[in-house]
Amino acid sequence: MTKRNNKIREKILLGLELSHIKLVQTKKARNFILVVSNNGKVTKVNPKNI
């Protein structure tokens, strides 16, 4: 990869990280269950456990 692609990749990863944080905060604030994949297995996480 070129230096330009590395910068773009870093920005994309940062955006994904920020959206993940916002998703978890929203689920916790609205008291919704968070559904995630854990090693190919669907897991439901109670908002109290987040």
1: pLDDT confidence band, cut at 50, 70 and 90?
Answer: low
Q: What is the pTM of this model?
A: 0.74
- 47 CB contacts (<8 Å, ≥6 apart)? 27, 28, 30, 31, 32, 33, 34
Question: Is the pLDDT assigned to residue 12 strictly greater than 90?
Answer: yes
pLDDT above 70: residue 11: yes
Query: What pLDDT, on the 0 to 100 scale, is given for residue 40?
Result: 93
Three-state DSSP at 37 gives strand
Site of tokens 């987040």: 50
pLDDT digits (tens, 9 = 90+) for 18-39: 999 999 999 999 999 999 999 9
